[in-house]
Chains A and B, each alone.
Chain A
Amino acid sequence: MSLPASSSPAARAALNPGVLPGAGREARKAVLVCAKDLRIEWRNLDNLPAMFFFSLLILVIFNFAFDFASSDFRILAPGVLWVAFTFAGVLSFGHSFDLERDADCIQGLRIAPIDPGSLYLGKMMANGVSMLLVELVVLPLSALLFGADLLPVAAPLGAVVLAHTVGFAAVGTLFGAMTARTRRGDVLLPILLFSVSVPLMISAVKSTSALLSEGTLRGEAATWLTMACIFDVVFVTAAYLTFEYVLEE
Chain B
Amino acid sequence: MPDPDPAARPDQLPLVARGLQRRYGPFRALAGVDLHVRRGEFLTVFGPNGAGKTTLLRIVASLIRPTGGTLAVFGVDPRRAPDQVKRRIGLIAHNGYLYGGLSALDNLRFYARLYDVPSAADRADRLLAEVGLADRAGDLVRTYSRGMQQRLSIARALIHDPDLVLLDEPYTGLDQHASRMLRGILEQVSGRGRSVIMVTHHIEEGLGLSSRVAVMTRGRIAWQAEAAGLTRGEMERTYHEVVGAAA
- Give chain A's interface residues, CB within 8 Å of chain B: 1-5, 8-11, 13-15, 17-18, 25, 29, 32, 36, 39-40, 43-44, 46, 99, 102-105, 107-115, 248-249
Contact = CB atoms under 8 A, between A and B. Distances in A.
B188 A110 contact: no
A248 B158 CA distance: 24
A5 B87 contact: no
Given A11-B88, A110-B62, A110-B63, 19 more contacts: A1-B130, A9-B117, A10-B87, A14-B88, A15-B84, A17-B83, A32-B114, A43-B102, A44-B101, A44-B140, A99-B101, A103-B97, A105-B99, A108-B97, A111-B62, A111-B89, A112-B86, A113-B82, A113-B84
B56 to A, nearest CB: 15
B42 to A, nearest CB: 15
Q: Which of A1, A2, A103 has the most CB of B within 10 A?
A: A1
A103 B63 contact: no
Given A1-B185, A111-B86, A102 B99 contact: yes
Contact of A3 (B64, B110, B116, B192): B192
B114 A103 contact: no
A11 B163 contact: yes
Contact of A36 (B99, B100, B189): B99
B140 A14 contact: no
Nearest to B94: A104
A102 B100 contact: yes
Given A3-B161, A9-B118, A111 B61 contact: yes
Contacts of A110: 62-63
A68 B188 CA distance: 71
B73 to A, nearest CB: 10
18 contacts: A3-B192, A3-B194, A10-B162, A13-B87, A14-B83, A32-B113, A32-B114, A39-B102, A99-B99, A102-B100, A103-B96, A103-B97, A108-B98, A111-B91, A112-B86, A112-B114, A113-B86, A114-B83
Interface residues of B, number: 50
Contacts of A102: 99-100
B159 to A, nearest CB: 10
Contacts of B162: 8, 10
7 nearest A-B pairs in the assembled complex, by CB-CB distance: A108-B97, A104-B95, A113-B83, A40-B101, A113-B86, A14-B87, A44-B101
Contact of A46 (B101, B103, B126, B194): B101
Interface string B196-230: 00000000000000000000000000000000000
The interface residues of chain B, by DSSP majority, are classed as loop
B234 to A, nearest CB: 32
Interface string B146-187: 000000000010101111000000000000000000000100
B48 interface: no
A113 B126 CA distance: 22
A3 B115 CA distance: 16
A43 B97 contact: no
A44 B140 CA distance: 10
A32 B114 CA distance: 7
Contacts of A103: 95-100
A152 to B, nearest CB: 41
Contact of B115 (A5, A11, A107, A112): A112
A113 B102 contact: no
Contacts of A105: 97-99
Nearest to B98: A103
B40 to A, nearest CB: 11
- Residue of A9, A11, A103, A111 with most chain B CB atoms under a 10 A cut-off: A111
Given A13-B87, A46-B101, A107 B110 contact: no
B108 to A, nearest CB: 12
Contact of B111 (A1, A46, A112): A112
B19 interface: no
Given A9-B161, A14-B88, A111-B62, A32 B110 contact: yes
B72 interface: no
A114 B62 CA distance: 12
A43 B189 CA distance: 35
B41 interface: no
A104 B96 CA distance: 7
A130 B36 CA distance: 48
Contacts of A107: 63, 93, 95, 97
